[in-house]
């Protein structure tokens, strides 16, 4: 399904619906002559054909931007590059900014082979006759997450969505970095955010503030649930998310672990063994 946002911008929804991807990954195509593809999406011959067939007559794909190295965003990048000879641009490889802590588990959907052709520094600008895109590093959901800003729009990958909060799964994600990225988006003040899953966000500042408030509430809730007796992730999850669908319980535990790591960094909590998904956590 294609959605038009004006003469220069359109999106195509990949055929990968799920509880974590909503209707599917949105691949954005910007430009008429020199076309930027933002988040080519999952490995899918059907989706690759849809992208190529959406190139207007006289145009060609010249740049492939990847917001981060999760398979539902990046897996199609190499096949698309092979078909178009366009370079792949991202903040860095899949393990950029990854926590050095061992035994954290995680790694859900990570594209461990991902390395861009061009690593874009924070603030780097790429320009063609059709568009000018500025790269903004936005770690938190993943260490190599990057927003791509065009005019008053930011293509924001998974860092901000309208229908859900963002999964933060250590060692690839970090709650502190996520909150810093939300503050940076607010400070830049884009008029609209275009996430890779779900609808356009018309009030970027309000949504960022809402997500930050949610995380602060969850942080306090997790801290309040800790006792002097170590508690497991599953025990904390059962208390904090009592009515959660079973399919989402592992993701909730990853988010709880992200909060616990920040609490440990702030010397408000501790673990009974080296920090891991199997450790017990207690209050200090």
Task: Enumerate the H helices of the chain as residue ranges.
Answer: 45-53, 71-74, 77-84, 175-188, 204-225, 233-240, 249-265
284 vs 281: CA distance, rounded Å: 10
Q: Check which CATH number belongs to the domain holding 236 and give it.
A: 1.10.10.10
CB 252 within 8 A of CB 266: no
Mark whether 105 and 155 lie in a shared domain: yes
**Whole domain around residue 258: which residue ranges?**
214-283
Kindly report, residue by residue over 216-247, the tens digit of the pLDDT: 999 999 999 999 999 999 999 999 999 999 99
Secondary structure of 189-207 as H, E, C letters: CCCEEEECCCCCECCHHHH
The residue out of 161, 184, 204 marking a domain boundary is 204
225 vs 236: CA distance, rounded Å: 7
Q: Check which CATH number belongs to the domain holding 151 and give it.
A: 3.60.15.10
Q: What is the mean pLDDT of residues 76-91?
A: 98
Q: Which of 43-47, 74-78, 100-104, 196-200 has the lowest mean pLDDT?
A: 100-104
Q: What is the mean pLDDT of residues 3-19?
A: 94
Instruction: Tell how strand 153-157 and strand 146-150 pair up.
Output: antiparallel
Mark whether 240 and 137 lie in a shared domain: no
Mark whether 226 and 185 lie in a shared domain: no
């Amino acid at each position: 399904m294609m959605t038009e946002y004006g003469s220069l911008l359109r999106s195509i929804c990949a055929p990968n619906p799920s509880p974590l991807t909503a209707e599917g990954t949105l691949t954005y195509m910007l430009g008429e002559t020199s076309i930027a593809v933002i988040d080519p999406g999952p490995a899918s011959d059907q989706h690759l054909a849809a992208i190529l067939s959406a190139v207007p007559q006289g145009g060609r794909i010249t740049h492939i931007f990847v917001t981060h190295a999760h398979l539902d965003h990046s897996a199609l990048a190499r096949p698309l590059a092979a078909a178009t000879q366009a370079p792949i641009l991202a903040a860095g490889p899949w393990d950029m900014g990854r926590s050095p802590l061992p035994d954290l588990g995680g790694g859900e959907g990570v594209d461990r082979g991902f390395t861009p052709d061009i690593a874009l520094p924070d603030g780097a600008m790429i320009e063609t006759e059709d568009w000018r895109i500025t790269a903004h590093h936005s770690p938190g959901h993943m260490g190599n997450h990057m927003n791509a800003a065009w005019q008053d729009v930011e293509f924001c990958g998974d860092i901000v969505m309208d229908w859900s909060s963002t999964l933060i799964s250590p060692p690839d994600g970090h709650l502190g970095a996520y909150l810093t990225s939300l503050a940076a988006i607010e400070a830049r003040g884009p008029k609209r955010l275009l996430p890779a899953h779900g609808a356009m966000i018309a009030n970027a500042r309000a949504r960022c503030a809402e997500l930050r408030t949610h995380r602060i509430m969850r942080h306090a809730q997790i801290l309040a649930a800790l006792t002097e007796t170590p508690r497991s992730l599953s025990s904390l999850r059962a208390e904090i998310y009592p009515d959660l669908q079973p399919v989402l319980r592992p993701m909730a535990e990853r988010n709880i672990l992200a909060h616990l790591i920040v609490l440990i960094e702030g010397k408000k909590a501790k673990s009974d063994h080296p920090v891991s998904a199997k450790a017990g956590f207690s209050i200090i």
